[in-house]
C-alpha cells in the first residue's frame, strides 16, 4: 500500500476532493503529517483536510495532525514511505516547492511514484511580509534599501535556496539590481518557524504565502 499525499497548490485553483478510498474502511487512527513545525503551510494543509473530512462525514473521529520537520518535507517523505507504507489512514501534506525538490531528486532514493497523490486541498498566493513596525512601509522602500546596501535586509522563508519561497526573495533582489548570490537569506523549517523569526526581529522580511500570514496581519503584527 502506498502512503497518500495531499498537496497545497500555490497560484492555482484547486478544490477539496478527497479519495473515496478512505470511506471503504475507516482507519482506527487517521492521521495527517505536516512535514514542518506548527504554523505554516503544511500545518494549514492538514487542517484543511481535517475539516473537510469531518464536515463531509467521512470520519467519525477527528483526523489527528502531527508534525515531522526536516529537509523541507524530505524527512517525512522518506520516513513514511520507508517505515509506514501500510498505514492506509495516514496522509502527508505536501507543497509545490517540495514537489520541485522531489522532482530534482533532492529527497533521496524515493520518487513521485512511491506514493499515491490523493488531492489538492487549496490555493495560495506568494507574498513578502515585514513586521508592522518595520522601517520598510512599502515594497519600494525595501527595494531602495537593498540598492543602497544589499546586506541590510535579511530574508527568511521555509524553503531552501532554489525553492519557490527563495525565488520570491530573489525576484526582489533582482528588482533592486542585486546579485541573488549576495542576498542574505535564511532557510527555516517551514513557514511557522520563519514567521516566528520575523516577529522576533531575526529577519527583516519573510517570503511565503498569503494564508500563512493572514492571522498575524489581522492581529496587527
Homologous superfamily of 126-218 in CATH? Periplasmic binding protein-like II (3.40.190.10)
Cell (9 digits) for 132: 508592522
Strands 184-187 and 31-34: unpaired
Query: What is the model's pLDDT at position 15?
Result: 32
Query: What is the model's pLDDT at position 66?
Result: 93
Strands 90-95 and 116-124: unpaired
Alpha-carbon gap, residue 41 to 29, rounded angstroms: 23
Strands 154-157 and 90-95: unpaired
Query: What is the model's pLDDT at position 7?
Result: 47
Query: What is the model's pLDDT at position 169?
Result: 94
Instruction: List the chain pLDDT tens, one digit each, 221 residues.
Output: 455 555 443 333 333 333 334 445 677 788 999 988 888 888 888 998 898 888 888 888 889 999 998 887 888 888 888 888 777 788 898 887 777 778 878 888 888 888 888 888 777 788 999 999 999 999 999 999 999 999 999 999 988 888 888 999 999 999 999 998 889 999 988 888 899 999 999 999 999 888 888 888 888 77
Query: What is the model's pLDDT at position 10?
Result: 37
Q: Is the dihedral of CA 53, 57, 58, 64 positive or negative?
A: positive
Cell (9 digits) for 210: 498569503
Alpha-carbon gap, residue 193 to 53, rounded angstroms: 27
The tally of CA atoms less than 13 A away on the side-chain side of residue 190 is: 25
Query: What are residue 33's DSSP bridge partners?
Result: 66, 92
Q: What is the pTM of this model?
A: 0.66
Residue intervals of the chain classified under CATH 3.40.190.10 are 126-218
Alpha-carbon gap, residue 149 to 56, rounded angstroms: 53
Edge to edge, the sheet with strand 31-34 lists 64-67, 31-34, 90-95, 4-10, 116-124
Amino acid at each position: 500500500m502506498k502512503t497518500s499525499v495531499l498537496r497545497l497548490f500555490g497560484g492555482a485553483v484547486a478544490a477539496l476532493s478527497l479519495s473515496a478510498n478512505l470511506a471503504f474502511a475507516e482507519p482506527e487512527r487517521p492521521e495527517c503529517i505536516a512535514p514542518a513545525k506548527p504554523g505554516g503551510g503544511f500545518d494549514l494543509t492538514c487542517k484543511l483536510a481535517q475539516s473537510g473530512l469531518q464536515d463531509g462525514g467521512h470520519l467519525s473521529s477527528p483526523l489527528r495532525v502531527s508534525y515531522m520537520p526536516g529537509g523541507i518535507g524530505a524527512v517525512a517523505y522518506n520516513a513514511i514511505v520507508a517505515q509506514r507504507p501500510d498505514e492506509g489512514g495516514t496522509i502527508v501534506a505536501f507543497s509545490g516547492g517540495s514537489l520541485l525538490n522531489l522532482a530534482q531528486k533532492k529527497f533521496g532514493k524515493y520518487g513521485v511514484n512511491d506514493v499515491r497523490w490523493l488531492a489538492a486541498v487549496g490555493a495560495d498566493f506568494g507574498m513578502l511580509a515585514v513586521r508592522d513596525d518595520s522601517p520598510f512601509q512599502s515594497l519600494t522602500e525595501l527595494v531602495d534599501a537593498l540598492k543602497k546596501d544589499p546586506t541590510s535586509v535579511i530574508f527568511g522563508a521555509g524553503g531552501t535556496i532554489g525553492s519557490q519561497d527563495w525565488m520570491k526573495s530573489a525576484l526582489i533582489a533582482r528588482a533592486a539590481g542585486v546579485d541573488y548570490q549576495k542576498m542574505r537569506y535564511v532557510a527555516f523549517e517551514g513557514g511557522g518557524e520563519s514567521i516566528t523569526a520575523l516577529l522576533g526581529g531575526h529577519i527583516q522580511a519573510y517570503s511565503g504565502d498569503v494564508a500563512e500570514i493572514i492571522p498575524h496581519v489581522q492581529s496587527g503584527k
